[in-house]
Amino acid sequence: MHGPESGNLMIYYNNKIIQVDFKVFESKSYKFFIDEELCEIKVIENRNGSFGYEFEFDHKADTKWNRIRKKIERKWAVQSVTFIVGFFVVLIAISSIFLYFREAFLIRQLERTGEYATVTMRLLDRMGKGRYETFYYFKTERGDKYSSKINIVTQLPTTYHGLPIENGDNFKIKVAKNNKFNHKIDFDQPTSDTANKMIGRIVEFHIQHHQGRMQDELYCEVKAAYETLGMNGLAHIYHQLAAPEKKSDFNKNTYQNLLRDKNFSNATEICIIAREKALEEAENNTVSIDSLQIDEPIEEID
C-alpha cells in the first residue's frame, strides 16, 4: 500500500507485513526474500506525479537459491546440448546408412543389369572466357535417351586421369536396365576414334617437351603406353613433369617407371621397327617419273 498524500508505503505478503517506509515521494526500490527467493519492488514516479509499481525476481544477485538455480540451468543446458547433438548424430547416422545402402543398391543394379552405350561429351563456353560447362548425352540400344551436365565449371575439362577432354569425344558408359539415371561414364574406355585423337594430343604434347628426339620414336612411346596401360599410360606421359606431391597417381616418377617397364619398352621397339619397315617399303614402291619408258608415241587428239 502506498498513500499518495502521506507517501507512506507498506509491503506485505500473505497478510504479513514485510517492509514499511515513510514519505516515499520519488522513485525507489525495495528488496526482500519470499521463500528464499530474492524479490524486488520498484516504485516509479511518473511525470504527472502519480506512481507506478513493478515486481520482479532478482536472479542475478549472489544468493543461495540463485546459485542452485544456475547449477540447475547449467545442467539443463548441458542436457539440451547433449540431446540436440545426439539427435543430429543419430539423424546423420541414419542418413549415412540410407545413402550407403542406396549407393550399394545402385552399384549392384549397375553391375547386374548394366549395358554399355556410347556417351558423347559436349563443351560449352557460355561466358566466352575459356571456362567450360561439360555436358554429355547417350542413347541406349533400347532407345532410352539421356543428357545431363557435369556440375564443374573448369578451364580444362579432363577425365579422372587428368587427360584433356575435347568437344565430341566419345566414351563407353554403363547404363542400368530400366533405369537410365543409374549410369557411369567409363573414361578408361574411349571409342577407337577418340582414343586415336587422344593419342594424337599426347603425341603433340610429348614432342613439345622433347624437341631433340625423333618424332617417330616419341609417337611410338605414346602408342606403346596406350597399348600396355590404356588411359593410365597416356596419363603417365601427359603428367611427366608433375611433382609427386601434387599428383600422386601420375607424375614424373611414374613416367620414369613407365620408361623402365619391359612391356612398354617391347611395345615401343615393335612400333619403331614397324614404322621403319613401312617407311622402307614406301620408299621401295616409289616410282620415279624419269624412269618410265614410253614404248609407243602418244596419239594427238583432234
Phi, psi of 252 (to 5 degrees): -65, -30
- DSSP summary character for residue 298: P
Q: Average pLDDT, whole number, for the chain?
A: 86
Bridge-based pairing state of the strands 170-176 and 179-190: antiparallel
Mean pLDDT of 58-71: 84
pLDDT at 33 over 70: yes
Q: What is the pLDDT of residue 288?
A: 46
For residues 158 and 239, the answer to whether their CB atoms sit within 8 Å is: no
pLDDT at 117 over 50: yes
pLDDT at 295 over 70: no
CA distance 179 to 108: 13
Q: What is the pLDDT of residue 69?
A: 83
User: Tell me: the pLDDT tens digits for 207-233?
Assistant: 999 998 999 999 999 999 999 999 999
- Torsion sign, CA atoms 222, 223, 229, 234: positive
Count of positions (residues) in the chain: 302
Mean pLDDT of 255-271: 95
Q: What is the pLDDT of residue 292?
A: 44
Q: What is the pLDDT of residue 45?
A: 86
Bridge-based pairing state of the strands 51-57 and 115-124: unpaired
Query: What's the pTM?
Result: 0.64
User: Tell me: the pLDDT tens digits for 103-113?
Assistant: 999 999 999 99
Q: What is the pLDDT of residue 154?
A: 65
**33: helix, coil or strand?**
strand
pLDDT at 289 over 50: no
Mean pLDDT of 289-296: 45
Q: What is the pLDDT of residue 87?
A: 94
CA distance 162 to 159: 5
Region of 7 please: left (phi>0), alpha (psi -120 to 50) or beta. Answer: left
For residues 171 and 121, the answer to whether their CB atoms sit within 8 Å is: yes
Q: What is the pLDDT of residue 153?
A: 61
Q: Domain spans of the chain?
A: 9-60, 62-113, 114-190, 192-284
pLDDT at 293 over 50: no
Q: What is the pLDDT of residue 152?
A: 62
CA dist 300 to 15, 81, 126, 295, Å?
147, 108, 64, 16
Bridge-based pairing state of the strands 9-13 and 170-176: unpaired
**181: helix, coil or strand?**
strand
CA 225 to chain CA centroid, Å, is: 30
pLDDT at 272 over 50: yes
Q: What is the pLDDT of residue 82?
A: 92
